[in-house]
Structure 1
Amino acid sequence: MRAGSHDDADVIVVGAGPAGSSTAHWCASAGLDVLLLEKSAFPRDKICGDGLTPRAVAELARMGVALDPDDGWIRNEGLRVLAGRRSWELPWPEVTAFPGYGSAMARATLDHRLAQHAQRSGAKLVERTKVTGPLLDERSGRTVGVVAQSADRREVVYRAPVVVAADGVSSRFATALGITRRDDRPMGTAYRTYFRSEGTSRHADAWMESHLELWSGEPGRSDLLPGYGWIFALGDGTVNVGLGSVSSTPARQSAVGHDYRALLQQWTRNTPEDWGFTPENQVGPIRGAALPMGFNRTPMYRDGTILVGDAAGMVSPFNGEGIAYALQAGRVAADAIAQARTRTTDAAREAVLGGYAERMRADLGGYYTLGRAFVRLIEHPAIMRFGTRYALPVPVVMQFVVKLLSDCYEPRGGDWVDRLISALTRVVPAA
């Protein structure tokens, strides 16, 4: 994988979302020549709940991203969970690996800042450049670059010994290589919009709010809607309001057939008046996207191509969180790429690059396997109702749930809850 005289970079990164920008930052910081290709122009929007867990905040801090509240980084204290006419405020767990707070920022802003951060680290960002497919070596079939369409619609070719596919849930790059999505992994669906919140009870809320039961009107006296809802204050005068669902397989997801855009409109129409979730306060349309979960595209490395973030299906089945794992994958991928450059044989370089997938599975595979089991359970409404009405109010269950769902636990040591979760992730087969 050593860059040759005909290469345009040491590594090409396809897509400048959190996974791509993280990869580009860490590769450039290691002294590699990085080409970061983005099909759109910044700022551009992405469908997301915009919430950042303490795990995500820790990754941003590792990258050296300034998290100054005066610069738009709102801090939140934990999760407010609502179900069965009750609510609980669950602080983020205090663990040594992560800070005791989360954050939130609109993806249009977050992605732009991370791409700029990668640029400051030394990566070359090229916007409005759509990668149309891989460039393959005619003899070996190995990926040796990309074919792309420039802003003026010319076909251009960029060469590099390693290409990182960070092009999202559809990952046309991976699909072109025959790396398709797995049908035995959970798939989520999320729809969201924004509301202006100045002067409302939702402005600058210190808690990320999750509604486990969605009612079409008054709780207990109206229809129970499918899915779960969220309300995340962004600290800029707006809130992200969304609705999502998850199924154990893509086939079950397709069979559900709900109009989630209409369901979100129905839910927000019946929220309290002082929340301000009215058409007059809505900012932008309702937009939706799929959430690829639990490593739903494998292998994560093959013949010069590394998959990171949504392209590899790295969204958590427990909570729909993907940003933290995208940032982590970029860091681990960059380390493998930098280390591979120091090896003197093709076989040794391939072994190091393949180690990226092994490291990701070792860290997240057991957790994602537990997540698949969790999704299969909550697909049954009776189990979900029992859990929210009878199990969740028990303090010890609540402590276990918040650590498990937020992925904020001590992997070594900690209290008995940490040790139990760690043991469970080790004994189950890695995803």
Structure 2
Amino acid sequence: MKDLLVVGGGPAGLATALHAARAGLDVTVLEQRVGTVDKACGEGLMPGAVAALADLGVDPAGHDLLGIRYVAGARRVEADFRSGRGRGVRRTTLHDALSRAVADAGVAVEHVGVHGIEQDDEGVTVGGHRARYVVAADGLHSPLRRSLGLDRPRRRQLRRGLRRHYTVRPWSDHVEVHWARDAEAYVTPVADDLVGVAVLTTRTGSYDDHLAAFPELLDRVASAARSGSDRGAGPLRQDATARTAGRVLLVGDAAGYVDALTGEGIALAVAQAGAAVQAVVRGDVAAYEQDWRRLTRRYRWLTSALLGATSRRSSRSALVPTAERLPWLFGATVDALARPAHAGAHSSPTGQSAG
């Protein structure tokens, strides 16, 4: 019987496999999709994510990012990262780099569909395989989360994301966040001749409908050729009642997701992957819930606060002017986003490190 099965071959699942291999576990990844996996996302890695990936031996090619710039019409304010450079990386490039690292680590990836899960006191059976533990890293709309009864549906109006790439030389080394009345556009240089533009909104409509709300940005890309197909994702907000069920641990978007507003998804996924593997090594799955809450506390608080502050149009219109007047606050916020999320070590009841 294997030590660990990882369901999901995206960044969260592959990072879990790398952590597991490093810990000496016998691990297999189960992923239904074959080949490079793409996804609608902003594609900006914060410095903490770059450092966390490097620690796993993963160094994807991309475009260096110096910081974040907020734009609202003629107003703009920017702050540089204090903890190193970020990197704009195509999602496909990131997936390929993680896949190569997993292959180099000798971890098997089997392309099978996963339908249902069974577990007992000794192990878990899923996808025709059996292991002592399972990590569910099967994405935003995780079927395993739902089958385990951990899904918490939301009825409020929810945000969705759309992403397109343009073949154009980046005009900035910062991630630009353009603010409009009902949407934000995230501009991320991902190569010397390629820029990704992701739009987040609660409104329905096509990508072009939403981009029309950003005249300056529209002018910049009007003559640029599109690269690849448009991608969409959502609803973004997903909640789980818990991060564990028996011998199953939820990692990445499957464990719950607030919004893409702060761009911390990859850093959090890698940190959660490390914490989940530590829990498996210790045989203390219940400790992962506490570790998950600690690792995601800053993200959940900051993202929820920003969403709440920008849910009213009056607040949205005041955001960039306020950041201009209080550059120290904007800089501190950017610095908080850039810092890595550390998996750390769980403390035993005696207060000593448990591993």
Question: Which TM-score applies when normalising by structure 1?
Answer: 0.72
* Partner of residue 225, structure 2: 281
User: 1:286-337, CA deviations, whole angstroms, 9 ceiling, x for partnerless residues?
Assistant: 22102645x7213101111100001012455652431111111111111111
* Partner of residue 92, structure 2: 108
Q: 1:65 to 1:290 in 2, by over 3 A?
A: same
* Partner of residue 234, structure 1: 190
User: 1:46-92, CA deviations, whole angstroms, 9 ceiling, x for partnerless residues?
Assistant: 1111110112112112212235xxxx232111112212412223101
Of the candidates 167, 182, 204, which is equivalent to residue 258 of structure 1?
Answer: 204
Task: Work out the CA distance in 1 between the residues paired with 2:197 and 2:109.
Answer: 31
Of the candidates 338, 346, 371, which is equivalent to residue 281 of structure 2?
Answer: 338
Of the candidates 244, 254, 268, which is equivalent to residue 301 of structure 1?
Answer: 244
Asked if the contact 2:140–2:257 (Cα under 8 Å) also holds between the matched residues in 1, the reply is no
Q: 1:236 to 1:366 in 2, by over 3 A?
A: closer
Q: Greater Rg, structure 1 or structure 2?
A: 1
User: Unpaired segments of 5 or more residues in structure 1?
Assistant: 1-6, 95-99, 148-156, 214-224, 246-255, 341-351, 412-431
Superposition pairs for residues 48-197 of structure 1, below 5 Å? Answer: 48-66=41-59, 72-94=61-83, 100-127=84-111, 129-137=112-120, 144-147=124-127, 157-183=128-154, 188-197=159-168
Please say which of residues 18-27 and 85-94 is displaced more in the overlay: 85-94
Asked if the contact 1:186–1:292 (Cα under 8 Å) also holds between the matched residues in 2, the reply is no
Aligned residue type for 1:144 = V
Aligned residue type for 1:235 = A
User: 1:252-271, CA deviations, whole angstroms, 9 ceiling, x for partnerless residues?
Assistant: xxxx5422524334357764
Deviation at 1:13, TM superposition (A): 0.3
- C-alpha RMSD of the superposition: 2.7
Please say which of residues 298-307 and 175-184 is displaced more in the overlay: 175-184
Percent identical pairs in the alignment equals 29
Task: Work out the CA distance in 1 between the residues paired with 2:31 and 2:306.
Answer: 35
Aligned residue type for 2:10 = G
Please say which of residues 301-310 and 381-390 is displaced more in the overlay: 381-390
Task: Work out the CA distance in 1 between the residues paired with 2:157 and 2:280.
Answer: 29
Task: Work out the CA distance in 1 between the residues paired with 2:259 and 2:278.
Answer: 23
Of the candidates 158, 178, 189, which is equivalent to residue 211 of structure 1?
Answer: 178
User: 1:1-59, CA deviations, whole angstroms, 9 ceiling, x for partnerless residues?
Assistant: xxxxxx2x211001111110110001011111111111111212111111101121121
Q: 1:186 to 1:362 in 2, by over 3 A?
A: farther
* Partner of residue 151, structure 1: none
Q: How many residues align?
A: 342
Q: 1:292 to 1:335 in 2, by over 3 A?
A: farther
Task: Work out the CA distance in 2 between the residues paired with 1:371 and 1:259.
Answer: 24
User: 1:195-227, CA deviations, whole angstroms, 9 ceiling, x for partnerless residues?
Assistant: 111xx4x26x421111123xxxxxxxxxxx511
Q: 1:232 to 1:226 in 2, by over 3 A?
A: same
Task: Work out the CA distance in 1 between the residues paired with 2:62 and 2:227.
Answer: 20
User: Unpaired segments of 5 or more residues in structure 2?
Assistant: 343-355
Aligned residue type for 1:287 = R
Task: Work out the CA distance in 1 between the residues paired with 2:232 and 2:191.
Answer: 23
Superposition pairs for residues 4-83 of structure 1, below 5 Å? Answer: 7=1, 9-66=2-59, 72-83=61-72
Aligned residue type for 2:329 = V
Larger relative contact order (C-alpha < 8 A, sep ≥ 6)? 2
Of the candidates 312, 327, 332, which is equivalent to residue 380 of structure 1?
Answer: 312
Of the candidates 249, 266, 290, which is equivalent to residue 323 of structure 1?
Answer: 266
Please say which of residues 385-394 and 28-37 is displaced more in the overlay: 385-394
Aligned residue type for 2:228 = G
- Structure 2 counterpart SS, 1:192: strand
Task: Work out the CA distance in 1 between the residues paired with 2:301 and 2:221.
Answer: 39
